[in-house]
Amino acid sequence: MEKLDLIIVGAGPTGLSCGIEAKKAGLDFLILEKGVLVNSLFHFPTNMTFFSTSKLLEIGEVPFISHNEKPTRREALEYYRRIKETWKLPVKTFTPVENIKKVEGGYKVITPKQAYFTRTIIVSSGFYDVPRLMEVPGEALPKVKHYYDEAHPYIGQKVLVVGAANSACDVALELWQKGAAVTMAIREGEIYPRVKYWIKPNIENRIKEGSIPAYFHTTVKEILPDAVILQTPEGEKTIENDVVMAMTGYQPNYKMLKQFGIEIPDDETRIPVYNNDTFETNLPGVYLAGVVCAGMNTSKLFIENTRDHGAIIVKDILQKIGKEEE
């Protein structure tokens, strides 16, 4: 087995930021990513524009130059590719971590390709990999999408958008503008108050004028091949339907975290157990970094307010393994 000081699980912006700090400290490390570089960003909607400015997304003292103040998905992918090349970060993509095992002096990290020995681990796996399911009959049908790419495949289709937060409103508006027949099912009695300020009045006006019919205080009861059954305040309602865009949010990969042995409280937040000062979990030498630290509170942490996690963690690692920072 290759012997390392550190393995970072996840090559998103936080994982890359942790890698930069490890590089500065002279650690022997590797970043393992189950998909592509910045996998979550790659699976964002094709035409997405970030809410954050490019300045707030910068890491590693590398300027993020974008055409506008708020960068696009395409510009972000280009930027993080440049981060990897600038810092010469050792990233292995398409290498999922299947499990970790405690061994003398550290951990054995098991992947389908090979096993690695590492003294410490940082888990920066984000929360975009596992959608929050509605858990209703028919949710496994191919017509149900938990990730949105672009409008073109759905032109002329009857699309139900489930949800009322940023993603749901963005998707509903883009699909409607491009020619889909859009309906929304919203659990609450209004559009989520924190929807982007330039999106909220737009979606509310489309609903008010009837361009995008919306059912409030409504949940999906069942999904059929050609229809959807909604539970509304007036009772069940069946509407014709070709596609369901379930923009119901995402959550950390709790199955993976539990398999590693990281403790997860059985409460509403499900925030993994870790030390607030060092980010070390209940497993000695295993740390959490980035948005995974927020558990189900996925709106609390973002790229811009987790950029310091790597520096804090690497400082603690250096003290543990007895290396001096260069």
What is the pLDDT confidence band of residue 196, given thresholds at 50, 70 and 90?
Answer: confident
Residue 81 has a pLDDT of 97
H runs (alpha helix) in 130-253: 166-178, 200-209
What is the pLDDT confidence band of residue 198, given thresholds at 50, 70 and 90?
Answer: confident
Token couple for 134: 């509605």
Residue 323 has a pLDDT of 60
Residue 325 has a pLDDT of 41
Residue 219 has a pLDDT of 97
226-235 average pLDDT score: 97
Residue 1 has a pLDDT of 67
* pLDDT tens string 80-98: 999 999 999 999 999 999 9
Report the chain's mean pLDDT, rounded to a whole number: 94
Residue 41 Cα distances to 44, 62, 137, 165, angstroms: 5, 18, 30, 18
Domains of the chain: 2-130+250-321 (3.50.50.60), 133-246 (3.50.50.60)
Q: Is 50 exceeded by the pLDDT of residue 326?
A: no
* pLDDT tens string 155-164: 999 999 999 9
Q: Is 80 exceeded by the pLDDT of residue 179?
A: yes
What is the pLDDT confidence band of residue 324, given thresholds at 50, 70 and 90?
Answer: very low
259-269 average pLDDT score: 93
Which contiguous run of DSSP H or E holds residue 231? Answer: strand 227-232
**3-class state of residue 159 by DSSP:** strand
Question: At what angle are helices 309-321 and 13-25 packed, to 10 degrees?
Answer: 40
Q: How far apart are CA 57 and CA 38, in angstroms?
A: 13
Q: How far apart are CA 20 and CA 309, in angstroms?
A: 11
Residue 299 has a pLDDT of 76
DSSP 8-state secondary structure symbol assigned to residue 288: E
What is the pLDDT confidence band of residue 129, given thresholds at 50, 70 and 90?
Answer: confident
283-288 average pLDDT score: 97
Whether the CA torsion 231, 234, 239, 245 is positive or negative: it is: negative
What is the pLDDT confidence band of residue 145, given thresholds at 50, 70 and 90?
Answer: very high
Token couple for 294: 């927020």
